[in-house]
Each structure stands twice: as structure tokens, then as C-alpha cells.
Amino acid sequence: MAGQFQKHKLGAAGIGGMLGLSMCITLFFPSFDFRSGESTWVGLDKTLSNGRVIGFSYEDPLVRGEGKPTTVVLNKDPKTGEAIDPPIRAYVYDAKAPLSAGVRHPSNMGPTVGKLSIEKGKIDQANDSDPVVFTIEATDVDGEEWHYVNNATVNNGWTAEAVLNTAGAESQYLIGRGKTVYITEGCWWCHTLLPEHTQDWQVFGTPPFLGDFNGEMPTAFGSDRKAPDLLHVAARNSSKEWMTMHFFNPRLVQPNSIMPRFDYLWGKTDANGKAIDFSKWRAEYNDYVSGKTVHPPEVPEYAPESEARALIDWVLMSLR
Amino acid sequence: MLLKLLFAKEEDIPPGSATIFFGYSAIFWFVVGTGLGSFNAAKLAFPDFVTGTEMFAFGHMRQVHVLAVILGWISMAFAMTMMYMTPALGNTKLWSEKLGLWNCFLWNIGLSLGLFLLWIGITSGREYSDLIWPIDLVVLVAVLLPLGINVWMTIAHRRTQGIYITNWFFGACTFMVMVTFVVGQAPELFNLTGLTEGYLTFWFAHNVLGLWITPVAAAIAYYTIPKLTGNPLYSHRIGHLHFWAIIAFYSTPASHHLLSAPLPEWLKSFASVEGVLILIPAVAFVANILLTMKGRWSMFVENIEIKFSVTGVLLAIPLNMQGGFQQTRAINWYVHGTGWIVAHAHLALLGMSTALEIAAVYFGLQQMLRRKLYSLALANFHYWFYIVGFCIYWISMTIAGLIQGAGKVYEVPYIDVVVAEHPYMIARWVGGTMVFTGNLVWLYNMWMTAREGTVLPKGRYSHELAYER
Ligand code: HEM
């Protein structure tokens, strides 16, 4: 039998056919399911607060969190001055921040949400090079509540500058930059962002829904859990002080933790512009650990432009 | 020397040069990769070991370990075996030694660059696809494509009638890994987002194992075992069953890595069923090889290459049993995301694949250098450090995984799980460090082989000569 025909030609066709079939089943068919997924509020919040891409990209080649939007919490209308209760989130894109993946390709947000965002939200009038502000609005379609993205600069007349000024520095959050830190520092090698629906409800909270990821890149679920799931960590523990101590040195608050110290995210100076003396801090901490002193050294207050600040903003605002 | 060969005329390059350069590069990356693994393991066991510097943080080092071993050791060793097995099985010479050498050269440069960028945190944040897309393109154009072309052209220019099973695997897998790679990197190249991105990440992670790492390792065994024992392969047909079953079943179960993500339910169920069918190629492979060993089992003790090869084949048994069943929903909920999976990953890569490749690298280098192995004693030292170290790693992480599984099912406070795992983390570090030590010895042994190994007489195979040390 062997050699009667051009074996490798037949073989190549067979391999191509089989691989094609399996790609059809595992890639082409599911693409219909993926495309029909409608974005939830969580999904819209993620895509708007994260910006275009987290990780290496044109706007952020060194993966330092450049070109990301600022998320602010507003309790009054920046234009009319009217109170907003409960406060809402607005997403400010300056001229350097390219639009998020969802706004860029509205079909990413699902057929209905994408359509609402264009028709009602006028997101097609935003572009990469002009500052713009987005909010998430709700509307009724056939008796059901739908969330969509609203171009507040066009619809409400909110300029980026006015929104930032109204909110003030203490209500601005660097969520996109914080998620960048999560990615570059490899937190996701230990933590997951995916409670399992079989048993994690009690401890780690509700697993995510189908529409919670639209427009997010990368999803960074994490496959290998050596530490608590973080998807809802801020709902369990929203203390900024705890987070600050824990990131500086986890063993200050949890002596048995194997989490690495992230003190280097503080950068060179603290909130008051004073240089942080890490070696002194470590020496004092070692004295504390060996029982020579009773109290651990104070954790320096992080500077507003430090990576620690962005990371804590992201943890407390996004992981609820 | 490499530079001289890179610019030499094709006729002037001695046959086997590509094999030799790939072989030593692979061993080098093996030493680097396992060294990094051991460093990471130390950090998980003792979190304050080398602390507070960005460059040596666990999150910066882990992916460097994983990609150094996969793209450096595993894949370069594959390239090395392809450089000498494909022509030997086609009764011809390598299509282009020069292409092979350039391939090796650019591969080392591209990989070093990619790993350096990952190390300083320039990443795409996608597991196993961590390299940023410009580096992905380098991998595609300078690593995978030239390798594939060399293999395909050598097969096309063969001087035998049929194609032996090993070459079927080599030809098909070099093609499939390219397709897998391009699809897997599509989210970065085309800005695909959300669940599509998450799914494609694991589509790639699964298929690179299923269509590249395990089948090519098996293909190597189809060559080494018959060659060294002198027995013909038990059945070429069963070999083909293995081959076609891999393509049909192993290319589909990607979503079993994401059973708890909100993917379509039909896709997850389909993946679980297909995943169990992986047992078909697995049983075909193991049975075929073990039956080929008939009458030559003494070589399992006497011959270092057979020792490694058969170890690899035996490790394929627990590997596929675990693999087939742990991805069903009934079991996956318990072990998902625990150290069990890390143990399984090392069983596949550090166990089965690595053992088969070590054998092929030992054999190929002696053959191409035309020199007998420098020292059997050192090789046995390598074997025992490797296998004992691996077993410590595997057993300790499996236990750690079961503890974690119990912890999550019974909702134990997480920190108690961390405390309970601690002894096993230390054991894993000890085991991994043994593997690393064995590798250092191997590098020395192969270095000495190149310099001082007895020259093989013309027409002789290395395993026909007696060991000297
Ligand atoms: C050729 C040999 C090896 C290969 C191919 C390999 C491959 C891998 C892979 C694929 C992973 C990711 C596992 C997962 O996410 O499930 C990994 C993780 C890891 N490997 Fe290896 N490895 C090898 C040798 C070693 C050695 C010798 C050590 C030393 C102890 C080691 C230590 C580690 C550690 C500590 C991790 C991180 C595990 C975790 O995140 O829980 N590896 N390796």
C-alpha cells in the first residue's frame, strides 16, 4: 500500500481538514455566543475605567500606565451645580488617552448596548484626540433596564476640565493605571479574578456574569490560585489603611502571608516629598520581627503620583 | 565559530552543525530555566528571600521561568531533534543547514530579548502569551517559520517511499503550532477584548501543549526507542491511530481550562467529553512503545538514553490519566487552580516531555559530534537527581493541591491554607533544586563530551561502544 499514492499530499489534506473542523467548532461557533453577549454595568465600568488596552500598547509602550483615563466620583453636576444623589462615576479621557475598546467598537458591548450607546449616548461623536467625558446611564427598553455609555461632553455639556475641578483631587481615581500595576507586578500569578460558581460564593462572592468583560483587555483571570480571589475584595475589606500596610509589607498585618512586599511601588518619595529610607525601614522592621522593639516602623504615606496609589485606587474602586 | 558558519556557503557547513548548536542552546536554556524555577520556588517558600526589589519580585520572575523552559528548553530541544531525526528518517540530509543555524541564532536572540522585556515588566498580561506582540511576530517569523520550512522541505526531499510516524508528527506539529500561535496572539494583534480574549488565551495555552509539546515529545520516542533497542516499532498502524487521534481530539478541549468562566455551556461540555477522548492517543502511544521494548528491558538499566526515554513514557501514563479525568466537571471543581495543576503541568513538561527530550539530546549530540559520552557516572547522577527531584516536586505539589482543594470546598480561611501548604512549598523547592543541580552536571558532561569524548569510528553508533567512565 505504502508509496502507491502521494502520501504526504493526502496526509496534508487530512490534517488541514481535521484541524479546520476543530477550529470551526472551537472558534467559529462560539464566536456567535461571544458576539451576542450584552455588557452589564460592571462591563461598561471596566471598559471605561481601563481605557483602550492594559499592558503593552502604542500609548503605553513601557507599560507604566500612560494614556489611561481618570475615573472621578461626582456628587454635583459640573455644569449646573445641581446635587447628584447618589453620586455617580464619570470617566475623563484627556487628549492623550485613546478611547476605550468598547467605545471604539460599540459592537463589543453587545448588540443592544452598542446601539443604545450610539443612538442615545452619541459615543460616535467622541474621538481619540479631543478630551471627552463618559458616564453610564440607564434606560428602559421593553420594560427591562439597560445600561449604556453616555457621551457626557456632547449630551450634558460637561468638559473634562470642569469635571476634574468639580470632583477635586480626593475624588479622582487612577483605575486604569492601577490595573496596569496589577498586570506588570504579576499579582495574577497568585490571585484570581474569577470566583468559581461551584463553591466560592460564601467566601469570595458572586462569580462574574457573561457581560462583565466586554471591552476588557486583558481579562487576567489567573489560573493558579495561591491566594484569595480578589474579584470582590473591596466588598470584604474596604480599609485604605489596611491595604496600605498590607502592600508595603503583608507581614505587618498577616504574619503568615507569603505575599511579596510591594514597598517599591511607593517610589522614591512619600506624600510630603520626603525621600523614603527603605534600608532604615527594613532594619527597624527586622528589629521588630526579632523582638528587639515592640512596634513596627510606620508605613510611609504614599505620594499621589506613586504606583501604590494607583493600585489601591483600582483595588478599592474596581474590585467590589 | 557560529558567526563563521552563519556566513559560510551551504556546502561548507558540516552536516549536523544545526543539531549541535540547537542542542547546546537547549541545554543552556534548561539550566537557566530550572535555575529560575528554583529561585521562584524559594520565593514561594520564603517570601522574604530577596525582597523589595522590583526586578526580583515573584511576579516579574515567574513568567520568565515558564517561557524560558517552554520556548528555550522544550522547543529548542525539539528543533534539535528535528534537525537530525527528520533527515535520518528520510535517508537524506537536512534541507538547509544554513537556515538551521540562522534559525538557532535568531531564536536565541529573540528569546533573550523577549524574556528581558518580560522581566522588566513589559508584558501583554496574558498567561503563556505574555510576550508583547512585536516579539510574537519575531517568534513567528524567525523561530517557527524557518523551523517548519526546514522540516517540510526535508520531508519533501526524502529518499524513502513512505513517511515514518515521527516525521508525520514533526511535519504536522510544526504547522499546527504556527496556526495555534497566530490565533492565540490575535487578541493582541487585532485588539480583541473581553471573554474572546480570555478564551483565546487558554485556547492557545491548551493547544500549544496538545499540538506541540506532548505530541512532538511522543514522536521523539518513536525514533529513539526502536533505534537504540534495534527492535522495529511494534505497530506503525497504532502509531497512526495515535497521530490522527491527537489531531482530532487534542485540538478541541481548550475551554476545559475555564470551566468556571461564563463561557457557553455547550462549549464546556464538548470540551470535557473531548478531553476524556485524549486517552485514546495516550494509550496507543504508551502501549506501542512499551511493546517495542520487548526483549530489551535490560537496556532500561544499562543504557542512559533508554533509561530516560522509558521513564518519559512511563510518566505519560499518570499524566494522561490525570489529564483525562481532572478536566471533567466532577473532578475539576476540586482541583481547579490549586497546586495539583502545577504538579500536573510539571508532570507533562518536566516529567514526560523533558525525559524524552533529554534522551534524544544525549543521543543526537553524541551522534553529530561523532564522540562517545564522556561519563556514564555523571549521566547516572543526572538521571537520579532529575527523577528524584521531579518526584519530590510532583508529590509535594499534588498534596499541596489537595490541601488547597479541601480548603476551598470547606471554606477554610485562606491564610490557614497558606500555613498548611508551607512544608510542601519547601519540599518543592528542594526537589526543583535537585533537578537544577542535575542539569548543571549534564551541561558539564556534554561539554566534556565535545572536548574529550572518544571519537566514534566511522559507521558506528554511540550506543554500540562501551562506556568508559
Ligand atoms: C523543563 C522543566 C520545567 C518546565 C517545562 C516547567 C514548566 C512550568 C510551567 C508550564 C509552569 C506554569 C504552571 C501553571 O501555571 O500551572 C511552571 C511554574 C512553576 N515552575 Fe516550572 N517547569 C520546569 C522546571 C521547574 C523546576 C526545576 C522548578 C524548581 C523548583 C520549577 C518551579 C516552578 C515554580 C515555582 C512555578 C510557579 C508555580 C506557581 O505559580 O504556583 N519549575 N513551570
Domain co-membership, A151 together with A200:
no
Q: Does B165 touch chain A (CB under 8 A)?
A: no
Residues 6+ positions from A255 with CB-CB distance below 8 Å: none
Res A112 pLDDT > 80: yes
8-state DSSP, B11: G
Residue B247 distance to chain A (closest CA, Å): 7
Closest by Cα among A55, A233, A231, A204 to B63: A55
Q: Does B133 touch chain A (CB under 8 A)?
A: yes
pLDDT digits 0-9 by tens, A280-307: 999 999 999 999 999 999 999 999 999 9
**Residues β-bridged to residue A269:** A275
Instruction: Answer yes or no: is B242 within a domain.
Output: no
Give the per-residue pLDDT at A6: 62
Across A203-213, average pLDDT: 91
Q: Say if ligand 1 is within 6 A of residue B349 CB.
A: yes
**Residues of A whose CB is below 8 A from B155:** 8
Res A4 pLDDT > 60: no
Domain co-membership, A296 together with A277:
yes
Residue B138 and residue B110 in contact, taking contact as beta carbons nearer than 8 Å: yes
Among protein residues, the one whose CA lies closest to atom 2 of ligand 1: B350
Across B229-249, average pLDDT: 94
DSSP secondary structure of A226-272: SS---TTHHHH---HHHHHHHHH-GGGT-TT--PPP-GGGG-SBBTT
Say how far apart CA B458 and CA B154 lie, in whole Å.
Answer: 24
Instruction: Answer yes or no: is B132 within a domain.
Output: yes
Instruction: Answer yes or no: is B89 within a domain.
Output: yes
CB contact under 8 A, A19 and B270: no
* CA–centroid distance, residue B346 to ligand 1 (Å): 6
Q: Does B195 touch chain A (CB under 8 A)?
A: yes
Closest by Cα among B379, B369, B374, B375 to B456: B369
Among protein residues, the one whose CA lies closest to atom 28 of ligand 1: B37
Domain co-membership, A169 together with A192:
no
Instruction: Answer yes or no: is B411 within a domain.
Output: no
> Of the residues A126, A147, A175, which one is the last residue of a structural domain?
A175
CB contact under 8 A, B333 and A199: yes
Domain co-membership, A49 together with A92:
yes
ipTM score over 0.95, yes or no = no
**Residues of B whose CB is below 8 A from A258:** 44, 47, 418, 422, 425
Residue B12 distance to chain A (closest CA, Å): 31
pLDDT band, very low/low/confident/very high, at A3 (cuts 50, 70, 90):
very low
Closest by Cα among A128, A145, A132 to A59: A128
pLDDT digits 0-9 by tens, B377-400: 999 999 999 999 999 999 999 999
Instruction: Answer yes or no: is A300 within a domain.
Output: yes
Give the per-residue pLDDT at A314: 97
Instruction: Answer yes or no: is A264 within a domain.
Output: yes
pLDDT band, very low/low/confident/very high, at B71 (cuts 50, 70, 90):
very high
Instruction: Answer yes or no: is B212 within a domain.
Output: no
What share of chain A in percent tops pLDDT 90? 88
Q: Name the average pLDDT for chain B.
A: 94
**Residues β-bridged to residue A76:** A83
pLDDT digits 0-9 by tens, B178-235: 999 999 999 999 889 999 999 999 999 999 999 999 999 999 999 999 999 999 999 9
Instruction: Answer yes or no: is A268 within a domain.
Output: yes
Instruction: Answer yes or no: is B296 within a domain.
Output: no
Domain co-membership, A156 together with A202:
no
Q: Say if ligand 1 is within 6 A of residue B351 CB.
A: no
Number of folded domains that form chain A = 2
Among B49, B65, B202, the mutation site with the greatest number of ligand 1 atoms within 8 A of its Cβ is B65
Res B25 pLDDT > 90: yes
Give the per-residue pLDDT at B3: 77
Give the per-residue pLDDT at A198: 82
A 256-275 residues with CB < 8 A to B? 256-264
Residue A224 and residue B342 in contact, taking contact as beta carbons nearer than 8 Å: yes
Domain co-membership, A274 together with A152:
no
Across B170-181, average pLDDT: 96
Domain that holds residue A218: 182-318
Domain co-membership, A190 together with A140:
no
Give the per-residue pLDDT at B411: 86
Number of folded domains that form chain B = 1
> Of the residues A175, A206, A237, which one is the last residue of a structural domain?
A175
Instruction: Answer yes or no: is B301 within a domain.
Output: no
Res A144 pLDDT > 80: yes
What would the grid cell of residue B308 be? 530516560
Across B145-174, average pLDDT: 94
Domain co-membership, A63 together with A169:
yes
Instruction: Answer yes or no: is A11 within a domain.
Output: no
> Of the residues A175, A195, A228, which one is the last residue of a structural domain?
A175
| A55 closest CB neighbour out of B125, B261, B267 | B125
Domain co-membership, A166 together with A192:
no
Instruction: Answer yes or no: is B76 within a domain.
Output: yes
Instruction: Answer yes or no: is A5 within a domain.
Output: no
Give the per-residue pLDDT at B161: 84
Number of Cβ within a 10 Å radius of residue A102 = 30
Across B10-34, average pLDDT: 94
What would the grid cell of residue A262 be? 510591594
Instruction: Answer yes or no: is A83 within a domain.
Output: yes
0.90 surpassed by pTM: yes
CB contact under 8 A, B57 and A185: yes
Res B265 pLDDT > 60: yes
Number of Cβ within a 10 Å radius of residue B406 = 14
Domain co-membership, A240 together with A276:
yes
pLDDT digits 0-9 by tens, B293-336: 999 999 999 999 999 999 999 999 999 999 999 999 889 999 99
pLDDT band, very low/low/confident/very high, at A2 (cuts 50, 70, 90):
very low
Instruction: Answer yes or no: is A157 within a domain.
Output: yes
Say how far apart CA B119 and CA A168 lie, in whole Å.
Answer: 37
Instruction: Answer yes or no: is A160 within a domain.
Output: yes
Give the per-residue pLDDT at B469: 79
Across A77-98, average pLDDT: 93
Across B271-281, average pLDDT: 93
Domain that holds residue B74: 1-7+16-163
Domain co-membership, A314 together with A189:
yes
